[in-house]
Amino acid sequence: MEPSSPLKAMNVSNLEELSKALIECQQIISDLPKETSWLLSQNLHKYQDFWCYPNFLEGIILAQKYFIPQPTDIIICTLPKSGTTWLKALCFTIFRRSQHSGGSSINPLLTNMPHDIVPFIEFLYCKGRDSQNPLLSTHVPYASLPESIVKCSTCKIIYMCRDPKDVFVSLWHFNNKSLDTDVLSWEEAFDKFCTGLSAGGPFWDNILGYWKASLENPEKILFLKYEDLQNDTLFYVKRIAEFMGCPFSVEEERQGIVQNIVNFCSFESLSNLEVNKRNKVGNEIPFKVENNAFFRKGKIGD
């Protein structure tokens, strides 16, 4: 299904209003504290006590002001390089399994990158969304989510964290090999990461915000660990489906549908799809990145 217009996705009445809001965002960003990022051609800006690139930050500020979630929305929240691509693929395949099993239709993940199917809230103002797909994603801390999401009693949040050592290694390699710009050395990037200066950081503040919120409202927020999902994927796929409100039936489990989803969304399977070998993310992220950059190793303790 074609995505809705950005105006509808962001609940903005016309292009003039959106243009005016963007100018206001740019003014806010220009006044924020900034530091050199791992990418030497860009700065990170500090907004509401976390660090963010300006092209993400515009959409965050707009979403905080304009975004109205659908009652059935499920927001996938992570820090960068914490298993975001994998979690998006799993959640989408779980949600759409009845449409793509038994040869009834072709799974869009065969021809589209998970980031193109599950859009970032940060870019709804320029990309729009598919109203039939309740899945959205973001890298922002819990405290900076649009208030409309936090206060919506029916939409849900799935958060996944990952060991900080693996996050740092994966993020450094991603920046160093996939983006067409000079980057900090390993040692310099590590120092910045440890002081909290990385996209979505500080690292522990991001995790603790969602962890505390999940304890207060476990019906709304599912808190996952990348390592747990790796070590017992079958169990957690069933847990995710239950939380999303579409649990697997006894018959589905008997037919092996859960295991089929685990297999289809595995690192080996997704990384070997033609779309993820050579195409570039272009529909969702506003900079060109080779799809294969999102599939380096997918291991624990690398």
Q: Are 130 and 108 in contact (CB under 8 A)?
A: no
CA angle centred on 17, ends 12 and 18, rounded to 5°? 70
Question: Cα–Cα distance between 241 and 222 in angstroms, integer?
Answer: 11
- Residue 17, C-beta contacts closer than 8 angstroms, at least 6 positions apart: none
**Residue 34 φ then ψ, to 5°:** -140, 155
Question: Cα–Cα distance between 256 and 253 in angstroms, integer?
Answer: 5
In the chain, alpha helices (H): 6-9, 15-30, 54-66, 84-95, 97-100, 114-117, 124-127, 147-151, 164-178, 186-194, 203-216, 226-231, 233-244, 250-254, 257-264, 267-271, 275-278
The catalytic site residues sit at: 139
Look up residue 35 and give its two tokens.
């530091």
Cis peptide before 202 (omega within 30 of 0): yes
